Structure 1
Amino acid sequence: MRSFPNTRIRNLGILAHVDAGKTTVTERILFLTGAVHKKGEVHDGTTVTDFDPQERERGITISSAAVSCFWDRHRIDLIDTPGHVDFSDEVERALRVLDGAVAVFDAVAGVEPQSETVWRQADRHGVPRIAFVNKMDRAGADLEAAVASLRDRLGVVPLPVQLPIGREDGFRGVVDLVGTRAYVWDGDGLAETEVPVGLRREAAARRRALEEAVAELHPGALEEFCATDALTDGTLAGALRELTLSGAAVVVLCGSAYRNRGVEPLLDAVVSYLPSPLDRPPVGGGRVPADPAAPLVALAFKVSATPTGRMTYVRVYAGTITKGDAVLDTATGRAERVSRVLRVQADRTEELSSAVAGEIVAVIGPKAVRAGATLCDPAAPVVLEPPVTAAPVVSVAVEARRGTDVDRLATGLVRLAEEDPSLVVRRDPETGQTVLSGLGELHLEVAVERLRRDRGLEVAVGRPQVAYRETVVKGVAGVLYRHVKQDGGSGQFAHVVVDVEPYDGEDGFAFASAVTGGRVPAEYVRAVEAGCRDALVDGPLGGHPVTGVRVTLTDGATHPKDSSEMAFRTAGRFALREALRASAMTVLEPVAEVTVTVPAESVGTVLGDLASRRGRVTDSEVRGGTSVVTATVPLAELFGYATRLRGRTQGRGTFTTRPAGYEPLKG
């Protein structure tokens, strides 16, 4: 196994809207780098990264897959992420451990809803990106329009570094504006040539525009530009790298991955412009440097059950993880033993003796590690911030058809939730049913199918139900609750007074103490907050989780013997429940932004159908003979919409969705 210094490692993600060609780009990268010897195709079900049977049947990526390859003396650890909104948590966990990303866009559609969503996810994690405008061979492909959509919809400064040679079906190459060379593909062969005569004037003009744009953003480039009225290739390339790392601009390339055109320059751009582990800020508040000699710090971002054992994917941020090491899981406080260290190639693995800071590998041995846990040297505990897990919005009741399978179903559901933290399993206290919740209808379909295939279970599934929430419209002040309990031995005493009001923060809950004079000690204040969080689990209107509430503890009292954290936690819980019952409350329902693409003659039918589903149209435009309608629709009204849309458009209509938050339930 070749060893690479940190500077020659690229931890790379491939991000895109569904059907933008993300997996095809990944497959061509693997083929060109020699990682595989035959090009895989999504439509044939022969791709390396989409190896799960459901992925191959559905033609979509469901789980992020890790692979490694080599290009220009660099190792690229690549993660192919899902493009469907129902699996956005897989993207979130991958972005948490990546150093850079390639965002793939359709040359006809430009920025689409889910590509905008994953772009914002990458923004939150500060992941530098380059853009690859794919499918340049399609009818209607337009690089300039795609670049404009990057600028308008994502609010970035796009810097195209290539000029296409040929249009649509005649697309056959690109002019590299940095090196002023042409790359032309004939079949699967690549030829590097001079810029075609017919494109030299346009190439010179675009090179000039690129130099001017870079000089405006980069002080060093501006100094050279003012002195010489031009930029050398080296200065331009160096400035593009620095602008990419800072996020001040986005380098844009183009090609057609399916026709093997444009991928080699993309790989060169990955090496040239995207960061190594050493180019990224240290994690853990700057306390964890990417140093192989430092104490071990690694983040588990994915857990997978395999025939060879429970596999935990980790990003090593500091130190070295070695076969046989004892590591501390700071989430549970348990010591775990690493029995194997593996380099993952999708569904294949390669045994390693160790992995160092900057590498992404899998380990076997830890039995209770969950995604988001920090693994570290037991002598130097460190806790890294875990990836954010989205709250579920759709639920189904599941039960085993055979009584003998009840325990096996329970075990299978626990395993699913361990592998995918965005799946939540609970028991309904009223009906006694087991309820599986997730991020969408497709998300739950895939999970249930895994139970059937992987565990051989016959499962009955109820109708999907959306996850409602409750919120405060108008609060109350001065709600008093006294918790007094005396039944022999030590008693319980807690006295609290709370105010409740609406709150619009992202986390949905805020707590503060306005108690003065030490009437409630700090440890009891924390207990009151914990009790309030307990009360948010089920609201007064329908037992739905409560969000959008601010609680202020305004007064309280203690007893010298009978007060305890438990007593104040209980008082906090019941005080907030009483306050919520006295407040003006409303039920919230999840809504989605739906983008429907249909033939122009079908737009009237689609608009009528959206209106019948309580949809609110927010945008409508015509793109090359097709109409694109964007609407906000309650999620509960979208069950079965795919079948209805196909029927009303003779199979020619398509749609995509993305979460748009919650709105008050009307009617």
Structure 2
Amino acid sequence: MAANAPIEKIRNIGISAHIDSGKTTLSERILFYTGRIHEIHEVRGKDGVGAIMDSMDLEREKGITIQSAATFAMWGDYNINLIDTPGHVDFTIEVERSLRVLDGAILVLCSVSGVQSQSITVDRQMKRYRVPRIAFVNKMDRAGANYDRVAAQLKEKLNHHPVKLQMPIGAEDRFKGLIDLIQMKAFYFDGENGETIREEEIPAEMLEEAKERRQQMIEGVAEVDDQLGELFLSDVAIPNDALVAAIRRATIGLKMTPVMCGSAYKNKGVQLALNAVCSYLPNPKEAQNEALDQKNNEAKVILESDPEKPFVGLAFKLEDGRYGQLTYMRIYQGRVSKGDFIVNQSNQKKVKVPRIVRMHSSQMNDINDATAGDIVALFGIECASGDTFTDGAVSYTMTSMHVPDAVISLAVAPKDRSALANFSKALNRFTKEDPTFRVHRDEESGQTIIRGMGELHLEIYIERMKREYNCEVQAGKPQVAYRETISQKGEFAYTHKKQTGGSGQFARVCGYLEPLPSDAVQQYEFVDDIVGGSIPREFIPACDKGFTEAVKKGSLIGFPVVGVRVVINDGAFHAVDSSEMAFKTAAIMGFREGYAAAKPIILEPMMKVEVQAPEDFQGSVVGQLNQRRGTILSTETAEGYVTAVAEVPLNTMFGYSTDLRSATQGKGEYTMEFARYTPVPRNESEALMAAYKEKQAAEQAARK
């Protein structure tokens, strides 16, 4: 492998898609054809070896990808850095942080299911980081495969401008090969693993259709590329190199999505997809990367992929390896060599680089230096996920990643007290590695609470504690992250007075609470409307502190209060007895008074649930969702399968997977992601409040 490939020949790409669309199988084939591995193992293969990119035992057992794995390969003289990302919504941060550092991506779609809920989430993430992509319609050998329908869904559901560069020869069990509409040649994949590519003339009976499709393809590209548009209108024959150049410009400019097809499992079409990665996706120089200049008021700076410029790198993922922390880093500018000193911009600490490696899933290859555009891993560098490093010459930080909020929490404790040290070691490591996994200690109950993106997410971490840290964990019942809010304006006028020996305490705050608009970004807002100095300026921050503390715990069920604006407009103070402490206390008590008057309500997280099952079970699937207080948004049937999309409260979703399996003879599957917060129905909120009161009474009794 050429360690110093010119930057024009480097491609940093990711493979992402809905769960079970064949991402890992596709990565496995790419590694095989580029000569990185010499035999192919299936994700759920009978030989039990599992795919090389799923290097954790857990991934092999469950047949899903949990951590994104990085590897590199050579295709011709192109150097491809590849990241295989998870499809499961619970591991969405893995996709998020991979897309943050990639220049291009392959969006894998299933030829039968088409664009599914997770494809939409992944696509949203790609748009957020402006990542150009190629769509690869996989599983063309499956019953019900329909290339044109999936390409049309790209337009309908994702608002892409899809342009089909290929035409399949046959479909389902008659899927034989592909016609390349640019070269106008037919390609077949022979040999045991499809490694021998046979190029032939297009079969006579398909020539007319191929010509028509080529014309449609040229029109599709001409619509979004002016140079090709002019050629197209002047009615001259369009040379292939002009067509390829136009597709490249339009793809990198995010104006179109080239669509290709094949079957990774049956070894067809993967090599052509690799050619397309090299032809149409950007090299690091063509991707625009911005940093913020900390010395110049966070002004935006465009980073240039130039090895001679000052070094800038982003630590985007951490792993606890056998030899200590392994830090994955994308180098945006400059170069870094073994033995260099680099500066962590989050704490200005200077650290030495002891070892640089290129990753191949869980195997490593040592290298001496890395330059702009590379994705490498460094050993022996302590940092957090998302830290920016420079050589000290500049003070830049990369823009931060979007981290979604946790929606589910569990109380956990080690079964055996002797495993306590390992328990805290594991939690420390997981929170450092995964920004969506959060841990806190509940002061009242003394329990350790872990929070995450879903049941599976927390389940995997509990399982990993057992395997990697030899620590069996007891988990309580999952707890939903409820919220409280107010439904109308509520006024308060509270006087805090305490007179003991010596100086007393005195503070008076008056004002009101009101709901924030539903699209507000901040969940709490403090407005100071004091005029005429009824509360001196130096005590205003103490009032804000008091209110900030009060919103952490509502009085209905003890959950945080959101969507509230607190306005203070009057008050009183005493020259001797007033203090910051007195005003903070008055603010806390004043908030409670206003909160009670503002008709508080409880909010619960609603999840968007997408269920797929054979058509015969449509009744029971819809019935189950209705039983769980779900609102059905849409149901559609295609190829004998029904897909139901519903909004369901998270609280009712526990144990759903078991119920769904038993109702559909094990054939149903579902995905779920957070949608929004909505008010809890009355009978439910009364039950929650009664349970909270009981808990408080029990705690008080225990204290006595």
For Structure 1 versus Structure 2, the TM-score category normalised by the shorter chain is over 0.9
Task: Indicate the residue corresponding to 1:619 in structure 2.
Answer: 634
Contact 2:320–2:326, Cα closer than 8 Å, also in 1: yes
Partners of 2:469 and 2:410 in 1: CA distance: 19
Change in CA separation of 1:14 and 1:564 when aligned onto 2, cut-off 3 Å: farther
* Structure 1 stretch displaced more, 202-211 or 232-241: 232-241
Task: Indicate the residue corresponding to 2:170 in structure 1.
Answer: 166
Partners of 1:334 and 1:430 in 2: CA distance: 37
Partners of 2:130 and 2:579 in 1: CA distance: 43
Contact 2:506–2:577, Cα closer than 8 Å, also in 1: yes
1:73 aligns with 2:77: yes
Of residues 75, 99, 103, the one that matches 1:99 is 103
Contact 2:495–2:507, Cα closer than 8 Å, also in 1: no
Amino acid at match of 1:400: P
Superposition map of 1:380-459 within 5 A: 380-459=394-473
Of residues 110, 116, 121, the one that matches 2:120 is 116
- Secondary structure at the aligned position of 1:278 is classed as coil
Partners of 1:486 and 1:323 in 2: CA distance: 67
Amino acid at match of 1:627: V
Contact 1:400–1:409, Cα closer than 8 Å, also in 2: yes
Change in CA separation of 1:547 and 1:338 when aligned onto 2, cut-off 3 Å: farther
User: TM-score, normalized by length of structure 2?
Assistant: 0.87
Superposition map of 1:21-420 within 5 A: 21-44=22-45, 45-187=49-191, 188=194, 189-284=196-291, 285-367=300-382, 369-420=383-434
Contact 1:328–1:381, Cα closer than 8 Å, also in 2: no
Partners of 1:101 and 1:524 in 2: CA distance: 53
Change in CA separation of 1:7 and 1:483 when aligned onto 2, cut-off 3 Å: farther
Cα drift, residue 506 of structure 1: 6.4
Cα drift, residue 86 of structure 1: 0.7
Contact 1:496–1:571, Cα closer than 8 Å, also in 2: no
Amino acid at match of 2:61: E
Q: Which has the larger radius of gyration?
A: 2
- Secondary structure at the aligned position of 2:487 is classed as strand
- Secondary structure at the aligned position of 1:328 is classed as strand
User: TM-score, normalized by length of structure 1?
Assistant: 0.92
Partners of 2:394 and 2:587 in 1: CA distance: 36
Amino acid at match of 2:640: G
Amino acid at match of 2:231: E
Task: Indicate the residue corresponding to 2:16 in structure 1.
Answer: 15
Task: Indicate the residue corresponding to 1:463 in structure 2.
Answer: 477
Cα drift, residue 547 of structure 1: 2.8
Contact 1:508–1:548, Cα closer than 8 Å, also in 2: yes
Task: Indicate the residue corresponding to 1:590 in structure 2.
Answer: 605
Task: Indicate the residue corresponding to 2:698 in structure 1.
Answer: none
Of residues 610, 617, 622, the one that matches 1:602 is 617
Partners of 2:176 and 2:454 in 1: CA distance: 40
Partners of 1:261 and 1:485 in 2: CA distance: 84
Amino acid at match of 2:198: A
Partners of 1:570 and 1:233 in 2: CA distance: 75
Partners of 2:368 and 2:50 in 1: CA distance: 31
Cα drift, residue 625 of structure 1: 2.1
Change in CA separation of 1:551 and 1:333 when aligned onto 2, cut-off 3 Å: farther
Change in CA separation of 1:122 and 1:534 when aligned onto 2, cut-off 3 Å: farther
Change in CA separation of 1:552 and 1:204 when aligned onto 2, cut-off 3 Å: farther
Cα drift, residue 414 of structure 1: 1.4
Partners of 1:659 and 1:332 in 2: CA distance: 33
Cα drift, residue 424 of structure 1: 0.9
Superposition map of 1:466-545 within 5 A: 466-476=480-490, 499-505=513-519, 507-509=521-523, 511=525, 533-545=548-560
Change in CA separation of 1:373 and 1:507 when aligned onto 2, cut-off 3 Å: farther
Partners of 2:582 and 2:361 in 1: CA distance: 52
* Structure 1 stretch displaced more, 228-237 or 571-580: 571-580
Cα drift, residue 14 of structure 1: 0.5
- Secondary structure at the aligned position of 1:248 is classed as coil
Cα drift, residue 534 of structure 1: 4.8
Contact 2:494–2:589, Cα closer than 8 Å, also in 1: no
Partners of 1:614 and 1:185 in 2: CA distance: 51
Partners of 1:505 and 1:252 in 2: CA distance: 36
Partners of 1:99 and 1:485 in 2: CA distance: 67
1:533-567 superposed Cα distances (whole Å, 9 cap, x missing partner):
55443333222233333455667899999999999
Cα drift, residue 451 of structure 1: 0.5
Amino acid at match of 2:91: F
* Structure 1 stretch displaced more, 304-313 or 190-199: 190-199
Partners of 2:548 and 2:624 in 1: CA distance: 40
1:417-470 superposed Cα distances (whole Å, 9 cap, x missing partner):
111121111112222111111111110110001110001112111122221122
Cα drift, residue 589 of structure 1: 1.4
Change in CA separation of 1:604 and 1:372 when aligned onto 2, cut-off 3 Å: same
Partners of 2:514 and 2:284 in 1: CA distance: 46
Superposition map of 1:537-556 within 5 A: 537-551=552-566
Equivalent residue pairs, number: 666
Partners of 2:271 and 2:213 in 1: CA distance: 21
* Cα-Cα RMSD: 3.1
- Secondary structure at the aligned position of 1:547 is classed as coil
Task: Indicate the residue corresponding to 2:687 in structure 1.
Answer: none
1:664 aligns with 2:671: no
Change in CA separation of 1:528 and 1:233 when aligned onto 2, cut-off 3 Å: farther
Cα drift, residue 601 of structure 1: 2.4
Partners of 2:501 and 2:334 in 1: CA distance: 55
Structure 1 unmatched runs, 5+: none
1:266-293 superposed Cα distances (whole Å, 9 cap, x missing partner):
0111111111111112311234322222
Amino acid at match of 2:445: T
Partners of 2:515 and 2:199 in 1: CA distance: 66
Partners of 2:495 and 2:381 in 1: CA distance: 45
1:181-223 superposed Cα distances (whole Å, 9 cap, x missing partner):
2211124221112222111100110111111122222111111
Identity %: 40
Contact 1:341–1:353, Cα closer than 8 Å, also in 2: yes
Amino acid at match of 1:117: T
* Structure 1 stretch displaced more, 525-534 or 617-626: 525-534
Amino acid at match of 2:340: D
